[in-house]
Structure 1
Amino acid sequence: MAGDVEAPQPTQPTDAQQRHEAQMLGYVLGLFFFYVLHDALQERAFRTPGFEFGWFMTAVEIGTMFVCALAWEGGLAALRRRREADETATPAAARNYLALLVFAIALSQGTGSVALQHVNYPVKVAFKSCKLVPTMAFSRYIVRDGKRYGVDDYAAALFMCVGLALLSAADLAAHAERDTQAAGLMLLVVAVCSDAVIPNLQEKLLRGLKLPLGSMVVLSNAGSFLVVLAFIAATGELGRAVAYLRVHQDAALWLLAQGLVGYAGLRCYLNVIRGLSGVAGVLATSARKVVTLVLSFILFKKPFTGSHATALAVLAVGVGLGIRAKHRKPR
């Protein structure tokens, strides 16, 4: 009839949208695979007898990432051309944010690695899973894109924090070396706060200032490597670690492999940030850390109690709520 009004037809995703979603899914799957392998290699390195060089491990990993990024980008000449072509961004602002990113990466990775000398690996992973809380807080002041967080976001953060507390308590009860736990937990607090700044700075550089991804990876890892290298040279850890690796050459292989798969995971992670957001990157890494926790108990035969199971379940609920909140938001 002439007076009838046709019901609106549901809009179908365009080919470009479908390609984008397929790419993001591929990057998320790659992030899971490479970062889970990275975490397993990191724990394996610390299980080499006598290995207690967390800052040196950080230097090797960041240095390997720098070399890989430089090779991927085609060398210094290609990097220079990229930087010269990117005059649309504010150079001073980009340099300032890059400087902050350099120190945040060095501090986050260094303190996180050193913490493994004091705490069990699952405690470190659980702490890192809870960086969603400070990431959400810092997002409003660094990215400044008007994002607002709903009930699901804050519920996810709450469950993650409760799961962290339960897992830490369970690990304390299962191990006798409690005197070293306090130092490890303090280092993890610093690592998590530093780590929460990183995705926001990366999002600001990639999406806000339009800095090419390759340029950001090369420059940030180069700067972080120099900072950590200067630190371990000043403290004497560099000399002790080199002497150790001369005797335990297998540990050097674990460190190199860790850096290589870490770079592959970083590329996937940064593409998720560029294609979605910094918070989306944190949610993806938080979800894969639940898998890492379970595999850590299975592969390395750690004591696993009912308290550990309860803590992991609460963490899983928090990660699930975070993913649900991200999925329900309009794109």
Structure 2
Amino acid sequence: MEVVLKKKPKKELLDFLAQSSQRVSEEIELVEKLYEDLLRKGQSNPFLKNLIDRLIGELRIPEPPLPPEADKLPRSLEEYEKNLRSLEENLREILKFLDKVEKILPEVESGIEKVEKTAELLKPINPSLVNTAYRQVSKVRRIQELVLNDPKPALLIDLEKGLEDIERTNRVLLAEYEKTLDFIQRDLNITRELVEKALSVTMLQDRSILTRELGILDELARKINELKMHPQPFETREFYSELDRIKRLAQDMMQKSLTPEEIKVFEAISWLRSGGESKVLDFAEFVEMVSRKSGVPWNQTLEILYKLSKARAVKLVTRILS
């Protein structure tokens, strides 16, 4: 018959030693108590003492079967416990590290995906900014690979910072996209205002042309709103070329209907209100500002202002203060 001895696992071995030591300790305590009971009986009765000595003369509590240098065992176990605690701490740190990695890796992937998607929107608009974004993505990808191949806490910190940079890059890209649409919207509003002003001074037979252009502006405005609600790549020149064409047409119409001085005054007023907000100015100061900007004498400027206001080419409101 072949007997196979298997090495006990560390914990099982220590559990066995602990339980066995406990049982042995309890048994030694019980035996020592019995010895003490016997010796007490002998102290009060000399006859019994002599009998007890004969009965237990050969009975002695054996020494525990300890290995050589057993006196060093407590110190060895203490060191062993210390090493186990150190190992426990290391394992806890590794688990904590893995929890962070498990959390941040999907966030990094999601962040990179967002940047790449937003960058596609910006390719026709700002290629330079897109290249910067792609470089940032490549940098984070490299850190991500380092974390997976050589996991170190310092690299995890770099990856967390890289995630922040990726999120910031995506915000910059989105802001650039929205800013581009806002600029086009602003130019469209200026163009619409110019067409409406041209309508107010243009001869009747030309108004249908400008009315048709207003319809085109409405369609462009619809496209801008659609791009804001559902972002997608677009060419800015398609908008600006159409807006420039409509502006030139409106200006040509106005030049046919207005004198050069009237056009200068009109453009000066448009420049003054280019901020998009209504302004309250002293009347004399306003006339002088328009005169200086247009290069038209103030008395002629005043006459032109009346004509433009009468034709509703500009809206001037007078308020008399006490």
TM-score normalised by length of structure 1: 0.19
* Greater RCO (CA < 8 Å, at least 6 residues apart): 1
TM-score normalised by length of structure 2: 0.20
